[in-house]
Structure 1
Amino acid sequence: MASPGHWSVIRGGKGRMSADDNYWERWYKRPARRRGFLQLSGMTAVGAAALAVVGCGDDDDDDVTPTTAGGATTTTPAAGDSASPLPDHPFYKGLAGGKRGGKYVFALSEDVIGADPHSHEEPASLISALPAYNGLFFPWVEGPPTDIEIVGELVEKWEQPSDTELILHLRKGVTYQDVAPVNGRPFTSKDVLYNMERMRDTTRPENRLRGMFDVIESTEAQDDYTVRMKLSQSFAPLFSNLAFTWAAMVAREVVEAGDIEKTPIGTGAFILDKWDRGVALYWKRNPNYWKPGLPLFDEIEGQIIRDRAVRDAKLLAKELDAGSVQVLGSSKETIEKQMAEVRDKISGVSFVETPGAVTSMLKVYGNLAVKPFDDPRVRQAITFAMPYDQMIQTYFGGRAMRTGPSSSANIPWAMRSADLPPTDIAKAKQLLNAAGYPDGFKTEAWVSPAGSYGGAILGPIVAGLLKKAVGIEIEIKQLQDAEWLAQVYRGKGAYPMTAQVDWSFDDPDRTLREYYSSKGSAQHQNINDAELDALLEKQRAELDTKARQVLIQDIQKHIIDNGYMTPLLTQGGITAIPPWTHIPDIRTGNANSYRTRDIGYLDGGPRGPSA
């Protein structure tokens, strides 16, 4: 595990690309890809650390003998004498010094709604499913959070004959978990075809991935381990989307049996042993996992603990193997007090601190189908009325950053600083007066109680600030998790407005196009803006990095100028890691850290191998 504040570099394999000078090949060859970024100062190098696509069929260090995480020499066992060799990389071999055994225990801040990764975006549901699954690719990071290296997961190598074709060569020797109804059968091209069709399916409104793969015209199995994809156009986010957390390879048999929401069964490192609804999920090690010697944990346990005070108490009692410090709604003194208490109770604890989150941001927005949010002047007034700097200091202890619709911590796609809206109370009042609300108005904010969406804390903060600034009176209506997701986040209800922590994604296409286009699979505000739609379609086809960055910046300005949302900030994070816990610090890809629990380990502690 990299020490907090220190970025190290992992050398990936050589890209298996065509000889054509295509988009991904050009990006892979950029001199600033890794070493160049490390030489740049701070967070000013927009675009210096963009996505790198790295094929892992060949390893740069051919003279290095493959080793297990514990350091012993190993060979890759074959499944039918055909297993693909794995590169000497921690993603495949585990963290250095790894020890086998023990039980890793963590906490979830809300209940799990369902386990279908293609149909849920709520963190608890994703985390509940991810231990069972793998994806085609993975966005590995061991360096700055935006220095992403795409590595093959279930894909061993790949080719791109043109900007609209992709050939995937699957990893041989991978099997589904030896659990009915799949019973350990091989993972083949047919499974890729099934999953791609399912993720593109426009007939399922619950399918949250359809917009991310709608440019894929066809997928064809050339043999059991080769898949050819044809695209309708050039598509900048292709590899980022294929590596996306939710794009897991599920088993057709489980879906057809109607069990996908309650029984995640995939090719992954852990098998779900028990799901005690509202209490905990219990996983056991997959003994036939395709990464030899992994996973290192024998068991993992996710306890569902909604009460923040209870989670904190369990961490201090060493009943959890990782935790966090509450930033949202906390003053600087409160944060420092929390950290001091953790240091006092857990000797040797380390804190991984970030100034902002690559994968999330906080925002306020209204439903354009509900008055007065159909009036752009009202929406714009809210944007100008927010005291951003005061919020950062008072309610986040200084541990937050201003942001646009795409998190400003995602440096290559950050909004131009000059385009960030200022606090201007006089202008906000002028806009409200022009809209017919000189003394403000009354409305409701429907919020989620789930800790990951933050509405129960953020909503009252926003309500208090807007009432003081411009007289807008907001009644907070707290819904149950599933109800809020259906009525607000999926747009089925006539909600007036909401305040929430929301996803921001590695590639801005998902962050912007899917949420603000009239065609977007996650669009739930009744936005229908032809000019914005055209810009969003143009950026996803743009293969020149700098030109696309300008488009993304223009799109974010358009969204704010029209008041489609008020981007508040992206909050910093403070993760508490006890000295016995060794897990990779992956902050991209939206819950991707839970896709790498197979390579982490415990060294001592209450539940480690020697306990």
Structure 2
Amino acid sequence: MNQRVSRFLLSAMSSAVLAACSLPAWAVTLNISLDADPGKLDPTQSSMLNERIVYQSIFDKLVDLDGEGKIIPMLAERWTVSEDQKTYTLFLRKGVKFQDGTPFDAKAVEFNLLRGQEKTSLRRNELKYVSKITVVDDHTIKLDLSTPFAPFLSILTDRAGMMSSPAAVKKYGEDYVNHPVGTGPFVYEGRLKGATITLKKNPDYWRAGLPKVDEVVYKIMPDVNVAFNNLRSGQVDISNRFPYKEITNVPANASYTVLNKPSLGFRGFYMNTGKPPFDKKEVREAVDILIDRNAIAKVVYNNAVAAGHSPFSKAQFANGPSDVPPKVDLARAKALLKAAGKENGFSFKLTLPTTPDELQVGQMIQGMLRPAGITVTLEKTELATQIEAGKAGNFEGLFVGWSGRPDPDQNIYDFVTTNGSLNYSHFGAKEVDDLLHQARVEGDQAKRKSLYDQAMAILVKEVPYIYTVHDNVLFGIAKSVKGFQYVPDGVIRTATVSK
């Protein structure tokens, strides 16, 4: 074991011991490993999946998701939607308090939604259609939208719907990111940066009989193999990552199980349609039909992903025929390249994340494109650098995936509409724009599904983005853990978990 890993484990173990000292001997601690250290502990400032995992223990949301990805009540126990789909009336749960003892009510919801719309908030685009907020009474709030927006309730199942204590936000100001206060099952206790985040049981939680453990400790373990060894040894109860190569090696007497179920996300890469060679759709289509998704799923991910060809996994209602990967067709690819004036092939640079898995995917893509005369140069960069290159259009191929959201709109609209905030391919087609706009203002799910199918029929031919696979929710869970509930958003919910 190298010195860096040894120091990390010693640091993590020391903080866990210190935290445990403040609890009685009979107290139960749930240990969860995370593969990256969460940043700011404020939902309005969040941009990481691992932050969302920690938030679920601290903050309740207005609405939540169940195991099938359906929207269910949480702090809003019921709601109505007007016939024109522009007014949402939420009826809030009574008797709920924030962890600082202040009441949760309609004014608190108003405060949080207005805060989410501020220029400094990363939730402002999600809440931009909320044009008016009316506090009807202490437990009823009316939200008027400037336009019908079908994904609205779905957005409230995530950070835009998480409720912070107004009193705490006012008390701590900019330092609230280090003093989060919600209505959730666990209260923030403290953190050792890069090592642990510790939460204690909320004794006044509104859900009777919950939570079931006394403490939650998140242990930061970037190396998936270190996390796996801690799971096997009992130092970790749940790991948010699991080594792909170990999925098929679980012994019958193992002390852990593997959760391996569909998620909402996708992986793949953008092609810059604003510059040669990807300004020609024949070139993009040729690349698309040269990639063997099933081989990538098997070799790199040990089939813990689903080969895909769209932004919609099987966990979403918009999943359709476009998600079936095309058969590899070298002859047709060469014909397409000839039609585009690239019969002798071409070269391009594919920018990748720094992880070993993505590098292996890149190497496989290199090999798959080579028979058509396409030379791929791989360049590894940090995610922040990739995002900046995407925004500036300073790339040829850019491998950036998406963790996924419950509503299909959140997996496609900003990625492919003209001037969309995540449209790094710089692709634009009015017909696609029109179909996706109709889908986000249409309230009938079957009609929305049809609109997404029509949009994907166009995108399959235009190919601004190469979809490769859909991630699975892949957790390692100790057999001593009871009450764990899978939700396709890939976020660990701790309230119902016991040991």
Distance in 2 (CA, whole Å) between partners of 1:271 and 1:461 is: 46
Larger helix proportion of the pair = 2
Q: Is 1:221 aligned to 2:139, yes or no?
A: no
Which residue number in structure 1 is paired with residue 21 of structure 2? none
State the shift of 1:369 in Å: 4.3
State the shift of 1:239 in Å: 2.4
1:107 pairs with 14, 33, 43, which one? 33
State the shift of 1:223 in Å: 2.1
Which residue number in structure 1 is paired with residue 191 of structure 2? 275
RMSD of Structure 2 on Structure 1 (CA): 2.9
State the shift of 1:254 in Å: 5.2
Distance in 2 (CA, whole Å) between partners of 1:539 and 1:466 is: 35
State the shift of 1:468 in Å: 5.0
SS of 1:412's partner is coil
Distance in 1 (CA, whole Å) between partners of 2:206 and 2:289 is: 53
Structure 1 residues 456, 225: closer, same or farther in 2, change over 3 A? farther
State the shift of 1:539 in Å: 0.7
Q: Is 1:559 aligned to 2:459, yes or no?
A: yes
1:263 pairs with 154, 179, 182, which one? 179
Which residue number in structure 1 is paired with residue 20 of structure 2? none
Which residue number in structure 2 is paired with residue 236 of structure 1? 150
Q: Is 1:189 aligned to 2:106, yes or no?
A: yes
Structure 1 residues 470, 360: closer, same or farther in 2, change over 3 A? farther
Which residue number in structure 1 is paired with residue 361 of structure 2? 458
Contact 1:211–1:514 (CA under 8 A) maintained in structure 2: no
Distance in 2 (CA, whole Å) between partners of 1:586 and 1:418 is: 23
State the shift of 1:276 in Å: 1.6
Distance in 2 (CA, whole Å) between partners of 1:591 and 1:309 is: 20
TM-score between both structures, scaled by the size of structure 1: 0.70
Which residue number in structure 1 is paired with residue 413 of structure 2? 513
AA paired with 1:271? V
Which residue number in structure 2 is paired with residue 426 of structure 1? 331
Which residue number in structure 2 is paired with residue 78 of structure 1? none
1:597 pairs with 480, 483, 494, which one? 494
Which residue number in structure 2 is paired with residue 72 of structure 1? none
- 1:338-372 deviation digits (Å, cap 9, x = unpaired): x23xx4452xx433333xx2322221222344543
Distance in 2 (CA, whole Å) between partners of 1:111 and 1:457 is: 24
Q: Is 1:250 aligned to 2:164, yes or no?
A: yes
Q: Is 1:447 aligned to 2:447, yes or no?
A: no
Which residue number in structure 1 is paired with residue 4 of structure 2? none
SS of 1:446's partner is strand
Which stretch shifts more, 462-471 or 167-176? 462-471
SS of 1:113's partner is coil
**Which consecutive residues of structure 1, in runs of 5 or more, have no partner in the other structure?**
1-99, 179-183, 603-611
Contact 1:385–1:425 (CA under 8 A) maintained in structure 2: yes
Which residue number in structure 2 is paired with residue 77 of structure 1? none
AA paired with 1:140? D
Distance in 2 (CA, whole Å) between partners of 1:581 and 1:383 is: 43
**Which consecutive residues of structure 2, in runs of 5 or more, have no partner in the other structure?**
1-25
2:270 pairs with 365, 374, 378, which one? 365
- 1:135-184 deviation digits (Å, cap 9, x = unpaired): 1011122xxx35x2x32211123233433222112122222222xxxxx3
Distance in 2 (CA, whole Å) between partners of 1:450 and 1:197 is: 38
2:216 pairs with 296, 300, 320, which one? 300
Q: Is 1:544 aligned to 2:444, yes or no?
A: yes
Distance in 1 (CA, whole Å) between partners of 2:45 and 2:280 is: 32
Q: Is 1:125 aligned to 2:47, yes or no?
A: no
State the shift of 1:105 in Å: 0.7
Which residue number in structure 2 is paired with residue 530 of structure 1? 430
Kindly tell me the number of residue pairs found equivalent between the two proteins: 470
Structure 1 residues 557, 320: closer, same or farther in 2, change over 3 A? same
Which residue number in structure 2 is paired with residue 136 of structure 1? 62
Structure 1 residues 418, 241: closer, same or farther in 2, change over 3 A? closer
Q: How does 1:308-457 map to 2 (within 5 A)?
A: 308-323=224-239, 325-327=242-244, 330=245, 335-337=247-249, 339-340=250-251, 343-346=252-255, 349-354=256-261, 357-410=262-315, 412-416=317-321, 420-449=325-354, 455-457=358-360
Distance in 1 (CA, whole Å) between partners of 2:27 and 2:209 is: 11
Distance in 2 (CA, whole Å) between partners of 1:423 and 1:557 is: 19
Which residue number in structure 2 is paired with residue 73 of structure 1? none
AA paired with 2:230? K
